Chain A
Amino acid sequence: MSKKDLAQLRGQKRVITTCTVKKGIVEDFSNISLSGVSARVFVDGKSWGFSSTSKFDFKSVKQTLENAVKLGKTSAKFKEQKIMLEPVKAVTADVSALAKKPLHNFSAEDIIQIPLEASKGARETGSQVVDAKATYISIEDDKYFLSSEGTRIHQNITRVLLLVDAIAKGDSLICPASENLGHAGGLEIFDKTSPYSFGKKIAEKAIRLLNAKAPPSGKFRVVIHPTLCATLLHEAIGHPLEADLAMSGGGFGNHIGETVSSKLVTIYDDGNVRGGLGYFPYDDEGVKCKHTVLIENGVLKSFMHDRTSAALANVQPTGNAHAWDYGVEPLIRQTNIGIEAGEFSLEEMIEDVKEGLFLEGTFGGQADTNADFTFGFQNAKWIRHGKLTEELRGANVAGNAIEVFKTIDAVGKEVILRPGACGKYQWAIQGRMVPAIRCEIMVGGTGG
């Protein structure tokens, strides 16, 4: 390597504990201990090489670094474009997420109680609940970042999640419902929402849906609850705002400064949201995470960047380079993406709709880089003459997010923090700060 080259080393210890309870039986209780080192180097002003190993000894780490240099050099031969990475000031930092109830104060028996209670809450809701699954997950990360620019960062962050699925069965119908809880922090997350009541709430929904009709199909004026808005925001607007996808012909192209959305919409990404699953003081290139305004009052302001895309776009990196773990390279990822609160209460948003749908809950989704998206909602209600009427089961909605976001004519004033996950080339868990929105969308229901 020459002096102009850049080397980054990431070391990580990760302990994952999972405990799954199905029908009141602990079906899985696991302890996953992982550790390893990755080396990423930028050589010849053109090319990155990446290599990782699960071996922690000096010889293996040195070999991994040499592999990365060789990979970078091999590929540099084929590249014409020089990338002028903005130099980064050396940072020394030691940060950790505060946990009021840290995991080490709890025994394995205490942990088991969490999914057991959630599963009990679901099963005790009614005999129609044929299956209830509750999964507790904790992820304890101890991460080190070192670079040849002199940066030394240690981050220690714990995340806790509870995932509950309930399935209700009627005479001929099977209705699933699910919901997730999650934050960066300790077990204090269950002080506000008890696992029992959380499980019960989900099972109640599954049972209720047994008597609901299938939703209709076609284009509708809809009020989208924050639970579903989170998926829409992440999948359909968030991804096209990631610079790597935007640069590969994404839906927002390079329309910085242009109006791309309804004027009521301001969208940001913020790694500093305390408690958000996407809480990261620094990213995996050692860049401090920021509050980045992406769309302001409908005008495209910025994309989410890593150092490479920032250099190509001639802007500052935004702290969005994140790797799922030591084993894989950092990619441009959302941290906690959000929509700024608007002025409407949920009632006010529904009041103005003559005929439409209220969509709630999410079954996840996917989006193409041109902002075409599909994702599922869990349940819906007809809105008729400004009032919520009969309940409907779930289906998918689809469309082009940029087109859909132009139709937003109301944004809710209450913003909630949601847990989220993403599978762009590698896994990630993230936060979402979302209000309800009102817009037009295509619904693919099987009913009339």
Chain B
Amino acid sequence: MDIDKDWASLNSLVHKAIKTLERKNVTHAEAFFTNTRTTEVTIRNSEILTQNKIDESGVGFRVIVAKNKVGFACTNTLSEKAILDAGEKALAIAKVSSESPNFALPEASKTPKVNGLFDSRIAEITVEKAIDIAKRAIDSAENFDKRVIAKDGRVLFNSGYRGIINTLGVDFEEPETKATIYLGGIGEQNGEVTCSCYDFKFSRIEDLEPENIGENVGKMVIEMFKPQTLKTFQGTVIFGSEAVSYQLTDVLVDGLNGESAFSGRSAWARKLGQTVVSENLTITDNATLEKGFASRSFDDEGCSSQHTTLIRKGKLESFLHNATSANALKTKNTANASRFPGGLDTAHMIVGNGYRAKPEIYPSNLVIHHGDKMKEELVSEITKGVLIESMAGFAQKGSGIISAQLSRAFYIQNGEIRYPIKGGMVSGVGFDWFKQVSEVGKDVKQFPNAIVPSLLVNEVKVVGA
């Protein structure tokens, strides 16, 4: 296949560029390179809107010169000249950069065997097949109930290679495939329009189950008719896995960042060994999980993947580290260098992901270990409370403050869901909520960088509309 031939050529040019840099009095040099083919179908207003095929390859160099001065340059032009030039540019930038006292790169080590990262069915996917999957999702949602409109969605297949070389002997490559579907629906009835409801699946294999996704969206939409406003309320809130995976996980990612721990910016800095969240919570980072969406055998600077316990029964055991933050704190690298971090940092969004970016610290699959009760069982035990399946808003970095608008939320009374809630916000400090978790659900769902269940949290404030 073309993609294999292109990869072999890119790989050999990148090796040549690293050898050229080695001869130039550099302390270290590193190249991260990718080759990705994307097939994408977008859905809008019950129809297929567009279908795209995008090929992208590129290489990013980090060059380190005396006194740990670092430069970065990348290119997506795959000629020998352009690749050697990018290495030269990184070197020129390193010379005018300032000293990074703790900078480190990982040394070569044996990588674990991680299964389920590649599915040839995705590598060979046709656009006809992608369109068929999208149509099945739309039909399933709209056939569920005639009031449902499949408003927007996307079916996405990625396949390609990821490679890393450095002058400390790291030289790894890995083929990988990813499949993603999401579908958003709204309901319309006598002029009433519901909020948007989404379902999604993130997978490494071609098993997107569009009928399930469509049906789930249909079910969710129908539940949202005739919402009622709620009076301001303080009490028990169940956050569904979707809400946990976004705003609440962002709080964890912020608190667990090793670089923030070193700089003192993390709320959990200098709290290793202390109880920082509810004893009901055990949280790990598992890059070696079979078929995990963010699994990999090495991180994006070439450290061998591992399964790290971050919080055990409420007690902080480790931060997330890359080579530099581990070096700064004189601790073990947890292989969390990522060139595909989440979040909406403007600089990062402008530059883009992968070979275009230097690695940051980010979880692979952040796993909140599940409990024994399904969400329905948690609901049945509540006298008065709120179930928040999804909410819109962000967690503030550093402080962990979340103040979000409720989107798919329900009022619970005497163990039953009574009605969907109209308007309203939830506000509080995410770090406090994690201390107030009294039950952990059994329902777990895979998100891009998290595998999380529902959480039952006491004493949460919900502001009425």
Question: What residues of chain A have their CB less than 8 Å away from a CB belonging to chain B?
Answer: 16, 18, 20, 22-36, 48-56, 64, 67-68, 70-72, 74-75, 78-79, 108-109, 112, 130-131, 135, 137, 139, 161, 163, 167, 169, 173-176, 180, 217-218, 244, 247-249, 327-329, 363-370, 372-376, 394-396, 398-400, 421, 423, 425, 427, 429, 442, 444-446
Contact = CB atoms under 8 A, between A and B. Distances in A.
B77 A376 contact: no
26 contacts: A26-B100, A28-B358, A29-B97, A33-B76, A34-B58, A34-B75, A50-B52, A53-B56, A54-B76, A54-B77, A75-B50, A78-B47, A78-B135, A163-B347, A174-B267, A244-B44, A248-B151, A249-B186, A327-B54, A328-B54, A374-B392, A396-B394, A396-B404, A445-B403, A446-B403, A446-B428
A212 B116 CA distance: 51
A272 B44 CA distance: 30
A119 to B, nearest CB: 11
A244 B100 CA distance: 47
A139 B407 CA distance: 36
A204 B95 CA distance: 33
B53 interface: yes
Given A51-B52, A79-B48, A445-B427, A218 B74 contact: no
A139 B463 contact: no
Interface in B66-82: 70-78, 82
B47 A368 contact: no
Residue picked from B44, B404, B405, most chain A C-beta under 10 Å: B405
Interface in B29-45: 42, 44-45
A176 B396 contact: yes
Contact of A372 (B151, B349, B407): B407
Contacts of B51: 49-50, 71-72, 74-75
Interface size class of B (residues with CB under 8 A): 35 or more
A5 B54 CA distance: 22
Interface of B: 42, 44-45, 47-48, 50-58, 70-78, 82, 86, 89-90, 92-93, 96-100, 127-128, 131, 135, 149, 151-152, 186, 188, 193, 195-196, 232, 263-265, 267, 344, 346-347, 349-352, 356, 358, 392-394, 396-399, 401, 403-405, 407, 423, 425-429, 461, 463, 465
Contacts of B196: 368-370
A373 B427 contact: no
B394 A364 contact: yes
B393 A25 contact: no
A218 B425 CA distance: 9
B425 A370 contact: no
B193 A370 contact: yes
Given A55-B55, A248-B151, A374 B393 contact: yes
B404 to A, nearest CB: 6
A364 B344 contact: yes
A131 B423 CA distance: 36
5 smallest beta-carbon distances between A and B, as pairs: A444-B425, A396-B403, A374-B405, A444-B403, A398-B405
Contacts of A364: 344, 394
Contacts of A75: 48, 50-51, 127, 131
Given A54-B55, A249-B149, A368-B195, A374 B425 contact: yes
Given A30-B93, A374-B405, A175 B399 contact: yes
B351 A32 contact: yes
A130 B42 CA distance: 44
Nearest to A21: B98
Contact of A376 (B92, B151, B152, B396): B396
Contact of A169 (B57, B82, B264): B264
